Structure 1
C-alpha cells in the first residue's frame, strides 16, 4: 500500500542538527515519517514551535537514567500552557570523542560538549585528559560541528555515527561513564486528544504544595497511595517565587481513564493550588501496569453505585 505524502506544513521539531539523540528518538515515531523535521536549538524553541503552530509536535528529552530529570524541560513544561505528552521513547546513550583530522589525543587541551554529555563522560575525560578545559555547547552535534567552524576547542564529545555527518576523526569510543545509560524522550503537542488506554500507560503531572506546613508532602503522596497508584518518577523543582518553595514533577503508572488514576487526580486537585496535567500516554517499554484487585476499575464503579443508592434511596446493582 502506497502512503500519501504529507504536506510540507506538517512539521516536527527536534533538538538538532541532524545526528542528535533527539533525532534518533523522533525516528521512532511512525507518524513523523515523511513529514518535515525542523531542527531547533533548545527546548524552549521546540515548545514555541508547537504552541505557535509552526510544528504539530516536538520531541524533547525529559529524563536520563543516570542524571535523572532534565530540569530545562521540566521547567519549560511548567511555564508553557496547553502542552500534552503524546508518547515516550527510549534511546540508548553513549559517546565518542572526535577531533579535526590530524589531531591526536595528546593534542587535546579543550573539549566542547553539551553539559549533560559532559557530565556523563567526565570520568573518562578526567582520567585521560586530566588538565582539559571545558566549553559548553547547545547540543551534542553542535559541539562536533563547532570544530569545523573555529579552533576554540580541540575535541568534542559527540554521539556515535557523527562522522557520517561531519569530516571528523574519532579519537576514542565508548567514553560514557555508564555504557547502559538511556535517555527518555517525550513527544509533545498542543492537541488535547487523549491517546487510548493500552494497559501499559503513564500519566504525567506537575503539582505544587499548598504551603510548607508539616506533612504536606505526605498528604500529596497519600492521594496516590490510598488509591493504589504507583509513581515511577517524582522530582522537585524550585517554583522561583521565594526560597524553599518547590513544585513536583510526577509520573504515575496508569491512564487518566483508569478509575484509580482519575480518582487520585481528583484528590490531588482538591489538595493542591495548582495541578498541571501533562498527559496520559503509552509506556515506551510496554510493561503492563500491575493492579491489585482492590484498586480495579470495577471496585471504584461499585463504590460509586453504592453511594448513589444511599443518596437516591435506590438499591445498587451489586
Structure 2
C-alpha cells in the first residue's frame, strides 16, 4: 500500500501566532509602499485612438488625417477615429487636445497655422511649443492662388490689373484669421498696394464651395482641395506660393516667378500629442507613422493630392515649429495681422 506523506505542522503557540501576524503585517506594508503601475504601463493601445482635425471636413488636414488614420489603425491594432473640431484658425481643436489626458489616446493633426496663430491670438489657452509633444510631420503641401474659371484673369498680372480697376469687387477666402492663407493673402494685398476683403471660413471645404460659387474671388488655399476642380476646369490656378513649382501643377508658375520675390510659404501638417505623453508612446507612434508615411501606397496617395510626404523625427518637427513660430511672428507684425 502506497503511503502518502503528510506535511508536518509544528504545534502553534501564542508566540508563533504573534510572529506570523507581524510577518503578514510587514508584507502588507511593503505591498502598500510599492508604487502603483501607471496607466500607460498597460499595453498601449488598448482602445481606439482619436485624431482631432481642427478644421471642418473636406480640407487638406481632414484628407491627410483620414489617410494616415486608416493605415495607422491597422498598424497598431486599434481604430483611429478622426474627429473634426474646427473654428478660430484651428485653435479650438488644438486647445481641446492640449487639455486632454496625456495617455496617447487623443492626438492633434496640427499644421503650420498653429505657429502663426500663436502671434495672432493673444489669449490662447495653450502654448503651441510647450503644450504638445511633436510626433512627426506627415506632409508638406504648396498653397496656390486660385480663382474661378469664369474670371477674366489668366495670370497674376492680369488679376492685379482687374483688382486695381474694381477693388470693391474682389475678396479672398481663408481657413480663418491667423492661418497661412490669411497671412499669404495679407502679404499679397500689401504687395499689390490694394486692400482686399478677407473672408474667413472654418475650413477648406466651405471655402472651396464658395470659391466655386463666386461668393469669394480668390483663395490661397493648399493644392489638395482645389486640385480636382482645377483639373476639371472649374477653377484656375494662377501661381503657387512656394519657392519652387508644385509637382502636381508643374505648368503653374510661382509667385516669385510672377514678380513677387518675398513669397515662400507652404503648409506642413503633422501629428502631436499632449505634453507629458509618455516617451515610449510617442516613440511607438512615431515609428508606426513613419512606416505608414514611407510606404509606397501612402506616398502614391500623397502624390495624387499634391502633397509631399515627410515622416521625420519628433526633434525635427519640434525644430520646425520653433523656426516657423519665430519667422511668422515677424511677418504678423510686418503685415499688421490681428483678430481684434
Structure 2 length as normaliser, TM-score? 0.42
Structure of larger gyration radius: 2
Structure ranking higher in strand proportion? 1
In proportion to residue count, which structure has more helix?
Answer: 2
TM-score by length of 1: 0.45
